[in-house]
Structure 1
Amino acid sequence: MDLQHRWLSTAVDVLKISGDLPQKWWGVIEGRYSEKQRHYHTLRHLEEMFQHFDKHFKKLNQPELVVLAIFFHDIIYDPKANDNEEESAEVFSQFSKEVGNLEADKTDAVMKWILQTKSHSVKENSDKDLQFFLDMDMAVLGRPSEVFFQTTRSMQIRFVKNTSIFLIRNTKSADQRFCGAFVSDRGYLLPTSFTKCTMTSPFKI
């Protein structure tokens, strides 16, 4: 299923959004993720996340909310800014207010999940949908080294934890603690994600 079809199907058939709003917001999503400053946070990234979603959606409690989180989590991306997640959550809040039929608790959940992509640090007892969503977002770290570096060419992943910022570029000298900072927090739910981090990623623990 292509991204536009997936979005319109979710908006119209699942969320029951009427009128021209589904098409209007698809235009916003497509336009934002096609911006020239993006190298990794693109429509291709969404497609890859949905590949994992399609394999695991039956395990999700609220798959429609995970779909919304995927579409909106990187909708604002300025490589020089440090508030992309907050701004992306705000755009989702605007979407929710405009469509008018999303319950407050569901809106809050999606906004919380988007904000969690700032650190990707959650505990074992956190919402399973949130854990799956975060694993889908960072599944690239579970790829073999050669695939990882090809995929993330010209990319910077910024991970902020304990006031330290690790920058990952197309180099094998990236900080070795990056992967370990994730795998130490909880068990991961995608078999191709961080559960194999020490074996398949370029970061040796």
Structure 2
Amino acid sequence: MEETWNEVLRDLSVPEDIATKWWSQIMVQYTESARIYHTMDNYLRKKFEIYDIMVKDNISERSAFVLAMFFQHYEHDTNVYGDSIDKNVEHVKNFFKDAGINHEGLISTVVGLLGAACESGSSKEGIDAYFQDLELAALGASPDEYVEYITDIEKEYSNMPAHFYRSLRLKVLQTLLLIPKIYSTDLFYEKYETQARENIEKEINEVLK
């Protein structure tokens, strides 16, 4: 991942000391002790593995996509998710300022991806559709990996009363099943849709026990 970070920043002519400084800050953020799922290894590395195989060759705005991936959960507040989005938009804007990047199109795309991460109705094969599908890829993991995923997510939100967390989780899962297609892009739909629905249905049954 560090190699990908450095490659993108070299392409954007960012000074090496700035690239190193912000990589160190990203490492600090994603290795916070409170994180269980949204960590460097458990979350970000897996996403980049899927990105390399399924996304990279299907988008043109790779620099924007990669930067948005790094900053999507740069700050991760398990109390107020919406507030985290706003904060992460500010963090990436601070990064652009520090890096001397003034490309309005790039900045707008990254900020748009960060804001679109929790929205629906994206274009079928656009960059935002791939960004959302990549975030939802964990839903289509193998049954064993899915159990690990939901266990880690619940631990990460352990600050919430268990009944409250499960109630919120149930609403999210039930909403997902109502969507005709969880994944917007054909590539992700074909690979993950069936398994994701099986995983979600099984989790719903477990929550309702």
- Normalised by the shorter chain, which TM-score bucket? 0.7 to 0.9
> Structure 2: which amino acid aligns with 1:149?
V
CA RMSD across the alignment: 2.6
Report the alpha carbon displacement of residue 86 of structure 1 after superposing the two structures with TM. Answer: 1.1
* Counterpart contact for 2:181–2:193, Cα < 8 Å: no
Aligned partner of 1:75 in structure 2 is 74
Q: CA deviation at 1:122?
A: 2.6
Per the TM alignment, residue 93 of structure 1 is displaced from its structure 2 partner at its CA by 0.8
Paired amino acid for 1:147: E
Q: Which residue pairs with 1:52 in the alignment?
A: 50
Which residue in 1 is equivalent to 2:104?
A: 104
Report 1 or 2 for greater relative contact order, CA contacts < 8 Å, sequence distance ≥ 6: 2
CA distance in 2, matches of 1:53, 1:149: 22
Unaligned runs of 5+ in 2: 158-165, 205-209
One-letter code aligned to 1:62: E
CA contact (8 A) 2:182 2:193 kept: no
Question: What TM-score comes out, normalization by structure 2 length?
Answer: 0.78
Check whether the contact 1:76–1:84 (CA below 8 A) recurs between aligned residues. Answer: yes
Structure 1 vs Structure 2: percent identity of aligned residues?
Answer: 21
- 8 Å CA contact 1:65–1:110 kept in 2: the answer is yes
Separation in structure 2 between the aligned mates of residue 89 and residue 166 of structure 1, nearest angstrom = 29
Secondary structure of the 1:17 match is coil
| Structure with the bigger percentage of strand | 1
List structure 1 runs of 4+ shifted beyond 6 angstroms.
none
> Where does the alignment leave 5 or more consecutive residues of structure 1 unmatched?
159-164, 169-173
Inter-partner Cα distance in structure 1 for 2:73 and 2:102: 20
In 1, the alpha carbon distance for the partners of 2:80 and 2:34 equals: 12
The one of 143, 149, 160 equivalent to 1:145 is 143
The separation in 1 between residues aligned to 2:13 and 2:167, in whole angstroms, is 42
Counterpart residue number, 1:87: 87
